[in-house]
Chains A and B, each alone.
Chain A
């Protein structure tokens, strides 16, 4: 068995002014080299959980260790090991793709030829080398998504958090992103990924965790979940998802 990349023990988080917790008594171990899909309806607590794991939100209850470091006490060490691909495009629209990557790569500790080579390598990997000197504000949605992803990969993170990385992109871009994510995982990175696309999760993830109302409902490989959960009555992850979380709208 692979050592744990992330250990979450009894984690709870309640936003100020709210009575219900966004994350409630959540425990999970993610092994190194996994691609974990966090699936759940809107407001289930996926983004809150990702934000906590990235150090963007604090928490008071529970314990989180990432690569052996305590999230509460060794955040700086953890930040150098993780990469984040936020749900929104987190780039400077007035800067070119290359300038954006140079800035984020530099802040993450790369410099000189190493930085330049890494940017060029990833631009080729995501087929954006022709557009590297264009400003982000002139990019299509799919191109922005790919640059957004590259910005999280520059420093070769051990763990990559992806919050809906394929939302709003065409099939071609989505296919390229997913293929490249698998490749990145093969190179040794652990991926923690949220999505509303069940088929995508089924094809990409080695482990899937269903979350609702801040709680972990079930965890396993997609095949195991389809076979064992809900009495084996569901033929796909999407059907199981609806079975477990219900058809009631969540806003």
Chain B
């Protein structure tokens, strides 16, 4: 009995050693093929790093544009009285706009904005101040007489023209900023005019009442747990997002590598040896896993050390390195599995590269890489839950921004690994089907 069991163990050990040896040679081969492909290496390392820098820089600039860059504004003030001057003063004092006064008229202002010479144009109509004064007087007298006057619809209309090339998100931000100033100017002006009218009618003057302008103060801050010290910024958002996007682009290289081996005939030779197909896939997984993790490391290190030199916020990775590694491995597995399935099913290099690149862009789009998932329409939000890039992104956000732990990223890790397993299973089924059917 003991002898039989020892013999069995010895056979198993020998078998494992043989498999390990084959795997080592396959890894050696895949590693050599990878490092000999200089263009592929460049695509896998330099391009993603460049992409992350550019996208973070762009997003950071857009984020700061209202605070750091002055937006060109054309102002046609036809009122030249208190309201017009108040608006002019407030806009100039805001520090957001670079104001140029237009004198040639509204048509000229519209033309200039439409031609992109200015991002925004504001036209304050003639007699705007007088019109408001008249309205205020009517309301105040009516109030003192006890006869409330309904809104007569003769309000002052200030026309705002926006460059038609401005994106809707930028236009919304701009309009929201302008509205904020308009409300402030309107309330200041109305308060002053009402006070003046009341003073004329009332024996007890009220002009000395000093009302604080900020009766309601909004204290805006990111919702973070006490232990979290990470301040969300464009780097924290963009580095994981675009790293994932870049990592999924290894599918092109991986699928291409599989197809090339098939076309060159070397895969056929491998099939004639006693090397199991799963070892062939395992070797690819190891080599491309190393590539993905190096990509992650390179991009994250760039976020930590290079970004501050470029004037961008530095990436804060916290202390949960093991969880970051786990999330990286799971995301890489989903990309590798996807690449293996494409490489097995696609019939040509061209077909694989087109399909891999377009499908990665689609998965990135629905996965929230470009637009946050919450800002998407409901059907797209449902779809995004099926994108491996979304799982990776949510996992990294859990770790880098929300200061989450293992249990927070566990669902995303399980989803990514299940996706990888499903893709590899499809590849193996397809491989077997090919052998039987053809």
Contact = CB atoms under 8 A, between A and B. Distances in A.
Interface of A: 15-16, 54-58, 76, 79-80, 82, 84, 86, 88-95, 99, 102-104, 106-109, 111, 151-152
A91 to B, nearest CB: 6
B25 A103 contact: yes
28 contacts: A56-B271, A57-B435, A79-B273, A79-B274, A80-B274, A82-B272, A86-B265, A86-B268, A88-B265, A90-B264, A90-B268, A90-B269, A91-B264, A91-B265, A92-B32, A94-B36, A95-B33, A99-B32, A103-B25, A103-B26, A106-B25, A106-B28, A107-B22, A107-B25, A107-B275, A109-B21, A109-B274, A151-B269
Q: Which 7 A-B pairs have the closest CB atoms?
A: A106-B25, A90-B265, A90-B269, A79-B274, A84-B272, A94-B36, A88-B265
Contacts of A58: 435-436
Contacts of A79: 272-274
B309 interface: no
Nearest to A60: B436
A78 to B, nearest CB: 9
Interface string B52-65: 00000000000000
A216 B435 CA distance: 24
A80 B36 CA distance: 30
B264 A93 contact: yes
Nearest to A111: B21
Contacts of A80: 274
Contacts of B21: 106, 109, 111
Contact of B435 (A56, A104, A108): A56
Contacts of B28: 102-103, 106
B24 interface: yes
B437 interface: yes
How many chain B residues sit at the interface, stated as a range, is: 20 to 34
Nearest to B436: A58
Contacts of B269: 84, 86, 90-91, 104, 151-152
Contacts of B25: 102-103, 106-107
A90 B265 CA distance: 4
Contacts of A57: 435, 438
Nearest to A104: B269
Contacts of A82: 272
Interface string B261-284: 100111011111111000000000
Which of A15, A55, A94, A99 is the most central at the interface, judged by chain B CB atoms within 10 Å of its CB? A94
B37 interface: yes
B89 interface: no
B270 A107 contact: yes
A16 B438 contact: yes
Given A16-B438, A109-B18, A55 B272 contact: yes
A108 B261 CA distance: 18
A104 B273 contact: yes
Contact of B22 (A94, A99, A106): A106
A76 B15 CA distance: 12
Contacts of B437: 16
B32 A94 contact: yes
Given A15-B438, A93-B264, 4 more contacts: A79-B273, A103-B29, A106-B21, A106-B25
Contacts of B26: 103, 107
A168 to B, nearest CB: 14
B32 A56 contact: no
Contacts of A55: 271-272
Nearest to A161: B272
A159 to B, nearest CB: 12
A90 B437 CA distance: 23
A107 B267 CA distance: 12
A16 B268 CA distance: 20
Which of A90, A102, A108 is the most central at the interface, judged by chain B CB atoms within 10 Å of its CB? A90
A56 B274 contact: no
Contacts of B264: 89-93
A69 B261 CA distance: 30
Contacts of A106: 21-22, 24-25, 28
B30 to A, nearest CB: 10
A196 B268 CA distance: 22
A148 to B, nearest CB: 9
A92 B438 contact: no
Contacts of B265: 86, 88-91
Contacts of A91: 264-266, 269
